[in-house]
Amino acid sequence: MNHTIDAQGKKLGRVASEAASLLNGKRTVGFSRNKVSGVKVSIINTSKAALDIKKLKEKEYVTFTGFRGGLFTETLEHLIDRKGTKEVFERAVFSMLPSNSLRKAMMKNLTITE
């Protein structure tokens, strides 16, 4: 099954949670937690999504290398300038999926276009 989500004028979290629910297979008849559903999701018009100015300035992504002094923070605005809105939507959907061995296989069924 293929689903298309149009992100034009919609909030980031709403689109990401809908995509995560579909990728998880929660809306299929034969839902099973231990299997990857064959649902493919594509998100279009991500560059036209409604992102608040406050969120662009205050939302921070934190990464840690594991070494001393290796804590890095980056604002949402800087991430969009560096990698585009595709990366933001990927990170949002990735964090909403269950953190088990099926997450990587579920993310392969997601396509995002700006």
Domains assigned to the chain: 2-50+85-112 (3.90.1180.10)
Q: What pLDDT band is residue 1 in, cutting at 50, 70 and 90?
A: confident
Query: In 3-state terms, what secondary structure has residue 74?
Result: strand
Q: How far apart are CA 1 and CA 71, in angstroms?
A: 41
Look at residue 105 and tell me whether its pLDDT is greater than 90: yes
Q: Are 46 and 80 in contact (CB under 8 A)?
A: no
- pTM for the whole structure: 0.92
- Residue that is written with structure tokens 């990735």 in the block: 94
Kind and range of the H or E run holding 40: strand 40-44
CA–CA–CA angle 48, 111, 41 (5° rounding)? 95
13: its two tokens: 């979290």
Q: Is the dihedral of CA 74, 76, 77, 79 positive or negative?
A: positive
* pLDDT tier, 87 (very low <50, low <70, confident <90, very high otherwise): very high
What digits encode the pLDDT tens for the residues 32-72? 999 999 899 999 999 999 999 999 999 999 999 999 999 99
Percent residues over pLDDT 70 in the chain: 100
From CA 33, how far away is CA 24, in angstroms rounded? 8
